[in-house]
Each structure stands twice: as structure tokens, then as C-alpha cells.
Amino acid sequence: MASVFCFGSGVCTGFLEWFGNLGIFFWQVLKAVVTPPYEWRELIRQMDEVGSKSLPLVALAGAAVGVVLSMETRESMTRFGAKSLLPSAIVFAVIQEMGPIITGLVVSGRVGAGIGAELASMKVTEQIDAIEASAINPYRLLAATRILACILMLPLLTVAADAGGLLMGWVAQTLAEPISLHHFINTGFSGATLRDFLPPTFKTAVFGLIIGLVACFQGMRTRGGAEGVGRAATNSVVLASLFVILADVVLVKLILVVFH
């Protein structure tokens, strides 16, 4: 019994220590962000890395979600005699929830692993130490630029995922029962306002903060050579995905309280 208690206490202590170190890391990055000089060139390069190179995968994932959602929703709506509401159901489901969460998870898998592995490799090969020795703040050059790029690019990638989901949702609907794109969009967005769609889109900036922060933190604290690099990449994806899902739960409730 005592050993079980000691194990549980050790896990809890490690959990709190990890969050404490993450908080310290975030504070160091925050100080680096607000103090000059600013690494504009590196920021633009990271925005291209996060945004442009993730765009095809995100759009494809959104399109796949739109097709599946259209087929499943059509079956349910037909069963309950509400087939006329199908465009609205697809539009609201994609833009309010499916697009943002799919974007967050896809980017956490692709970008989170990339950032974690890249920074971990730099850490174990002492490149980060060399940057510090050159009087360059690694939190500004390496962490802040990647985190800001994730924050700025996630809402734009979400728009791409939403567009792919709606377009392919309409295609799937048209194959089952012909409907013009103009009618599909007009019917789907009827009665909707900007506050129905802007908060779910911009909440992905929080997902970007989580993905960038966790991946940079895991990468820059790596130990143990090649094995540590692999562990950092894996932990970055797992933890970022988990925190994105948990943050989504909190943000959905917050949006419902504030905007409805």
C-alpha cells in the first residue's frame, strides 16, 4: 500500500513539476517576444513552414470530413423528415466544430512532431548552446518565432479546412440529390451571423499556442541523443493533441457563454 502511495505521489509530483517548467518556459518566451531585436525573417520562414506546407493536408482532411459528414447527416435527416435542413447542418457542423478541431489535430501531428524533432536535434548536437554562446537568445530565435507562426497560421488553415469540407459536402450531397452550390450555400448560411463562425475559427489561435509551446518545450529540454529526439517528437504530438482536445472543450463552453 505504501509503495502504491509513493508511486502515486511521484507521478503527481512529476506532473506538477512538468507544468511548472512549462510555465517558466512560457514566461521566458513571452519576455523574448516583447523585447527587441525581432526575428522577422525567421518568423516569415516559420509561417511558410507551418502554413503553406500544411495547407494540402489540412484541406484534404477537411474535404474528407465534409464527405463523411454529408453522407451520415443525410441518412439521419432523411430518417427524421428534416432533409431540408441538411445544408445548414453541414455548414454549422463543419465551421463551428469539425473544421477547427481537425485542423488542430492535423497540425499538431505534422508541425508538432517537426518542431519537437528539429529543436531536439539541435539540443543534443549542442547547436542551441552555440547560439547562446553567440549572444543570441534561443527563446527569441527558435521558440518565439515557431509559436507565433502557429498562432497566426492556425486560423487561416482552419478557413482552408472549412472551405474543403463545405465544397466536398456539397459534392457528396449533389451526387445523392442534385443541388446547386449557390442554393447549398444560401440555405446553409441562412439565419447565421458572424458571431456564429468567427469565434470557432479564431479559437484555433489558442490551439496554435498550445502546439507551438508544447513542441518547443519538449524539443528544447531534450536529453539522451537520438533516442531523446524520437521521444521529444512523440511526446510533442501526443501532448499537443491531448491539450488541443481539452482546450476545445473549455473554449466551446466559453464561446457558448460569451457569444450566445
What is the band of 186 on the pLDDT scale with cuts at 50, 70, 90?
Answer: confident
Q: What is the C-alpha separation between 197 and 29, in angstroms, rounded?
A: 31
Range of the domain at 232: 37-259
Q: What is the DSSP letter of 85?
A: G
In a domain, 243, yes or no: yes
Are residues 188 and 91 in contact, defined by beta-carbon separation less than 8 angstroms? yes
Give the position of cell 454549422. 92
Q: Is the pLDDT of residue 244 over 90?
A: yes
**Three-class SS of residue 232?**
helix
Share of the chain above pLDDT 90, in %: 34
Note the maximum CA span of the chain.
69
Domain assignment present for residue 244? The answer is yes
Provide the pLDDT for residue 183: 84
Is there a domain that residue 7 lies in? no
**What pLDDT is stored for residue 153 in this prediction?**
94
User: Which cell numbers hold the place of 37?
Assistant: 531585436
Task: Give the model confidence (pLDDT) of 190-200 as tens digits.
Answer: 877 888 888 88
Burial of 5 (0-12, 13-18, 19+ CB in 10 A): exposed
pTM: 0.89
Q: How confident is the model at residue 70 (pLDDT cuts 50, 70, 90)?
A: confident
Of residues 3 and 56, more confidently modeled: 56
Considering its fold, how many domains does the chain have in total?
A: 1
DSSP 8-state secondary structure symbol assigned to residue 136 = -
Residue 5 confidence (pLDDT): 46
How far apart CA 214 and CA 114 sit, in angstroms, is: 12
Under 8 Å between Cβ of 222 and 232: yes
Quick check: is 164 in a domain? yes
For residue 232, what are the contacts with CB-CB under 8 A and spacing of at least 6?
116, 117, 119, 120, 218, 219, 222
Mean pLDDT on 160-175? 90
Whether 3 is covered by a domain: the verdict is no
Summary count for the chain: helices (H), strands (E): 12, 0
**Residue range 31-49, pLDDT digits in tens:** 888 888 888 888 999 999 8
151 belongs to a structural domain: yes
Residue 28 in any domain: the answer is no
Q: What pLDDT is attached to residue 135?
A: 80
Tell me which residue has cell 427524421: 80
pLDDT band at 10 (very low <50, low <70, confident <90, very high): low
- The answer to whether position 92 is within a domain reads yes
**Band (101; pLDDT cuts 50, 70, 90):** very high
How many angstroms separate the CA atoms of 50 and 68, rounded? 26
pLDDT digits (tens, 9 = 90+) for 119-166: 998 888 888 888 888 888 888 888 899 999 999 999 999 999 999 999
